[in-house]
Amino acid sequence: MTVAADTATTPSTEEVAALVQRWLAESETHPVEPAAQRLSEVLKDPNGLAFTVGFVDGVMRPEDLGVAGRKLAELSDITPTLLPGYLRAAIKAGGFFAPKLPGVVVPISRRVLRAMVGHLVLDATPSKLGPAIAKLRKTGNRLNLNLLGEAVLGEREAGRRLQGTYDFLARKDVDYVSIKVSSVVSQLSMWSFDEAVADVVEKLTPLYRLAAKAEAQGKAKFINLDMEEYRDLDLTIAAFTSILDQPGLEDLEAGIVLQAYLPDALAAMQRLQEWAAARRAKGGAPIKVRVVKGANLAMEEVDSKIHDWPLATYGTKQDSDTNYKRVLDWAMTPERLDAVRIGVAGHNLFDIAYTWLLAKSRGVTDAVEYEMLLGMATGQAEAVRKDVGRLLLYTPVVNPAEFDVAIAYLVRRLEENASPENFMSAVFELASNPQLLTRERERFERSLAALVADPSVPSPNRVQNRAAEERTDAGTTGFHNQADTDPAIAANRAWGREILQRSVASPLGLDAIAAARVDAEAQLDGVFATVQSAAAEWAARPASERAEILHRAGDELSARRAQLIEIMAHEAGKTIAEADPEVSEAIDFAHYYAERALDLENITGAEFVPSKITVVTPPWNFPVAIPAGGVLAGLASGSGVIIKPARLTQRCGAVMVEALWAAGVPRELLALVDLANRDLGTQLVASPAVDRVILTGAYETAQLFRSFRSDLPLLAETSGKNAIIVTPSADLDLAAADVARSAFGHAGQKCSAASLAILVGSVADSARFERQLVDAVTSMRVGLPEDPATQMGPIIEPANGKLLTALTALDKGERWLVEPKQLDAEGRQWTPGVKIGVAPGSTTHMTEFFGPVLGIMRAKDLDEAIRLQNAVDYGLTAGIHSLDSDEVATWIDRVEAGNLYVNRGITGAIVQRQPFGGWKRSAVGAGAKAGGPNYLFGLGDWAPAELPAAATGAATTPVVESVLSAAAADLDAVEIEWLHRAAASDEHAWTSEFGVTSDKSGLGVERNVFRYRPVEVDVRIAEGATLADGIRVIAAALRSGSPFTVSAAALPSRVEKALRAAGVTVSSDKDAAWVKRYAKAAAKAEHSWRRVRLVGGDTAALFEALGGTPDVAVWSHAVTGAGRVEMLPFLHEQAVSITNHRFGNPTTLSEGVL
């Protein structure tokens, strides 16, 4: 469809430029407000934007005056030179005294800043609001009041915002208000679009009826329905039209906003025009559309990058400017303006002049209103007003006691004033700087030329349609994270609703599970034999062939996304919002491990030997992604796989396996089993035919498995008792939202869930944090997964044991901040619960409940908070909310967990982006992080391979050289040469992998750093092991920089001396004595998780002496020359995810931290 511009009525660029020149000349005759002039000059300084935004966010926002004082001291070092001398001196002095006297200095500093930006917002104090409104209206302008408030995390704040707007509209001196749908209904989910529309309509109707009543009394009052996020576009239009379609509101004129930086804007305008025209034809009132360019670009970019969705907006400022004119050109005709009046919102004088001249030429000036922002370019606004008549001023209103809630609005305004791409950056100099004027004129001309050149109606950028996706025959290669389903798109919402309807009585997986039944030991032995036979042929295939099939598996999982969501909703109680990303994770595992399979063939100095049979025993809480990850990793490594899905979610696993079979994975190679009894379960794990078991489940399950077979090669991701620390420097609204989401996503049944929040210092007494957390938690909609409005589904089975106790009882000193309630007779549906007063060492502190219960602890400072966080036996995920770089650096350096999260939630790890796996009792065995570069390394054995001579000569560290030199007299020439090559391989591995941090995703708005941390290891060189092998492992240990001990039957004295000089503890024991001593020491250790690198010797004897404890991980493969293999036991993997923006704008928070 095309919408060619009416060139006959289009004003020439010369006419537009002449009018702009006249307005600029006129604006010079109006005095500039001192605050506006001062702010403009500050923003010209190279440090101006950083200083001002830092002041707003770092000094105005914190509740804790000490935090604000420290930030003021920091900012005083970059005080803009363009500030008046007295202000610079005052800021410097304030910065010096603020850390010492924050209670005195910070309030004064805040008043100074409020004065600098106070012209941009109105004071909501009743005694001040009335006079301020009267003063502004004396100019003849109208005011569009928008009440700012705390982040809407729950229904309490939503209700408060709505009531405040209602009270504004009820005032005699207020006739125009704006409100967003996202500010009156909390926790909106686009999956429940219809329910959300109904909710918004119910909440907003009284406000519109108030306006209609005033209209009937001849006192017109206007409501403008605002919007900010792209996802709200359809919702806002649907709510707006539904409200005005109600009986009694036919004669009410009301307005809505469209954002022209969205390609969707013109089509949305046409939808509104069609609806409004029908309304007019029935005798109803017209509507008004306020056309803005859009002010949420930075956060739309964040949304796009995090979800890997196309950017919803145009990618360039020119394209946005062009579309702004396109929408207005189409709308501003006499016929269309009868039903839809237009508000031209913006400060770009060229755009205003263009639309004003266009309106005059088309004779529609009475139906077009011009709108500007309060306090912005007031001289130019006055000049424009004299031509167009009164203006409508968008007027934010904020209570001075809550001034920090204006931060997001103010940051956008400051960015607009500072960014050269924005017209506002030149606003004070256009009249006196010809170059700037020419720059803006040329931008205008280019956008106008583009309008004429392309008359088509733009298509949306976001067009994903799951129902219409076609399977690709070409097959996928390489790796790129799979995008989740985008619920902002109507077609996807309809697709999702159909899935949920089918889920109620889904038959998926029934036949596959029935066919997988194993009733006898002999039958299971037959499965072992079949898989083992198929595995030999599979392992012999080149990795490229295995990778091709795994890529096809990823494509097949993608094609069956709807089925996988359906069965997860039916069997596991997962909401679609939880199930859809899980399918994406399963797909990612397929493609990622396909690529990592190729790596196994490219390890210089070592040869990977696949396991014959890998058994996968997954959990019920992630019934598709985790089973898929284990199976696909086993297949990628060259192993045959037997999977026994969790009892409660067998069919989910079956549907996943069916997808893999359909993709070409041989059925003989991948066996699905449903075991009839516990004895068969024991046989599955304990059989000597099984080479590896991949477990995800409770630590106690790992203990049970090892009780069946003490030397079982077990790779397990086990329990977690995860906490989020919140410090006084945190954004408390963001922290409360992330704590609530992390604690209660999937009803708290994620191994990564936050079951503790540790509040530091003043946060523990913060009424705001408590209020926001309670609001967020109590507003969560609990229900069944087939209801799209459900935000928290049921727990997997009726609460019992420690979870039931946690939901119904309190420890000493605890009290309920939010008491959970059982909603059904069965005991599966519970509202979330929050306990405060949790004591160190208590059951709530130390025990994983795996359900919807959050405990809150207090700590006097960050040091104590870290101690509390580290005090548990587990180390899976950990989080902190802090906007202080020093605090973040301290925490990252000291916290004991495998996955760290800064200023974001602690759940939802994504393959490659945040490889997943823990420390301490959260990980069992000689394995690595799932979805990370080393996971496949632990799924087989390693054998030595030739090291090329090209590796010789690479530099290594002096301490490694000293040990190699000390050992040389007891080695032959071949061994010495091999050791030097191996040391060179270590050096290469260190400089390319282990000694560097990496961020493979490169999102920018979020840093996802993968790194290696030191970990203590005990090296045992057994009787019969060669000295060369022992020295080779010691060299890898030394290069890693980790602490380690060495025990050997015998070492040359020169080697012992060199090791002791390097700070290494060396002991001498025979094998039997060492095993006995080590087992005794491990049993006595307060924290018994340990690592052993065994060179030679009897692994089974060691595990038997240890009683099969999962706390000791043993690497016992043959010694190789490959640094990429040999250094792994000496390093802990860690993934650190840091939100790297504030309101979408880049932040320096993590610079120097990692």
Cα separation of 1041 and 986, whole Å? 12
User: What pLDDT score was predicted for residue 508?
Assistant: 98
> What residues contact 471, with CB distance under 8 A and at least 6 apart?
555, 559
Q: Give the H/E segment covering residue 615.
A: strand 613-617
Domain 946-1136 adopts which CATH fold?
Aldehyde Dehydrogenase; Chain A, domain 1 (3.40.605)
pLDDT band (50, 70, 90) for residue 741:
very high
Query: What's the token pair of residue 691?
Result: 């080479």
Angstrom CA distances, 548 to 131, 590, 592, 636, stand at 73, 10, 12, 10
pLDDT for the residue 119:
82
Residue 4 has pLDDT above 60, yes or no: no
Q: What is the biggest distance separating any 2 CA atoms in the chain, rounded to whole angstroms?
A: 106
User: Can you tell me the distance from the alpha carbon of 478 to that of 483, in angstroms, rounded to the nearest whole number?
Assistant: 15
Residue 474 banded pLDDT, cuts 50, 70, 90:
low
Distances 398 to 82, 118, 410, 569 between C-alpha atoms, Å: 29, 10, 12, 43
Start-end of CATH 3.40.605.10 domains in the chain: 478-717, 946-1136
Q: Return the CATH architecture of domain 478-717.
A: 3-Layer(aba) Sandwich (3.40)
Confidence of residue 1 (pLDDT cuts 50, 70, 90): low
Please give the Cα distance from 372 to 366 (Å, whole number).
Answer: 18
Q: Answer yes or no: are the C-beta atoms of 947 and 516 closer than 8 Å.
A: no
* pLDDT tens readout for residues 755-783: 999 999 999 999 999 999 999 999 999 99
1125, 603 Cβ separation under 8 angstroms = yes
What pLDDT does residue 1086 have? 64
* Active site (catalytic) residues: 717, 751
Nearest by Cα to 44 from 425, 483, 321, 510:
425
Q: Confidence class of residue 960 from pLDDT cuts 50, 70 and 90?
A: very high
pLDDT computed for residue 953 by the predictor? 52
pLDDT tens by residue, 809-827: 999 999 999 999 999 999 9
Per-residue pLDDT, averaged over 922-934, amounts to 95
Quick one: how far is CA 320 from the chain centroid?
A: 28
pLDDT greater than 70 at residue 2? no
Q: In whole angstroms, give the CA distance from residue 299 to residue 311.
A: 10
**Cα–Cα distance measured from residue 1007 to residue 998, given in angstroms and rounded to the nearest whole number:** 10
Least confident of 943-952, 997-1006, 1105-1114: 943-952
Distance CA(1028)–CA(1030), nearest Å, equals 5
Distance (Å, whole) CA 686 – CA 684: 6
Q: What is the pLDDT of residues 642-652, one digit of tens each?
A: 999 999 999 99
Task: Give the tens place of pLDDT for each residue, 861-900.
Answer: 999 999 999 999 999 999 999 999 999 999 999 999 999 9
| Structural tokens at position 700 | 């106690």
Residue at 128: amino acid letter: K
**CA 1089, 1091, 1094 angle in degrees (round to 5)?**
145
At residue 107, the pLDDT reads 87
Coil/strand/helix, residue 695: strand
Q: Which single residue is written with the structure tokens 């020119």?
A: 318
Supply the DSSP string of 993-1022, one letter for each residue: IITS-B-SS--SSEEEEEEEEE--EEEEE-
Q: How many CB atoms lie within 10 A of CB 245?
A: 13
Report the alpha-carbon distance of residue 718 to residue 697 in Å, rounded.
5
Phi, psi (deg, nearest 5) at residue 999: -135, 85
Q: How many CB atoms lie within 10 A of CB 1081?
A: 12
Torsion angle of C-alpha atoms 1016, 1022, 1028, 1034, degrees rounded to 10: 10
Is pLDDT of 408 > 60? yes
Looking at domain 722-879+896-901, its CATH class is alpha beta
**What band does 417 get if pLDDT is binned at 50, 70 and 90?**
low
Please give the mean pLDDT across all residues of the chain.
94
Question: CATH 3.40.309.10 occupies which residues in the chain?
Answer: 722-879+896-901
Report pLDDT digits (tens) over 495-533.
999 999 999 999 999 999 999 999 999 999 999 999 999
Cα separation, 754 vs 876, in Å, equals 11
> pLDDT (tens digit, 9 = 90+) per residue, 226-250?
999 999 999 999 999 999 999 999 9
Confidence category of residue 714, pLDDT binned at 50, 70, 90: very high
pLDDT at 575 over 70: yes
Which tokens hold the place of 72? 């003021």
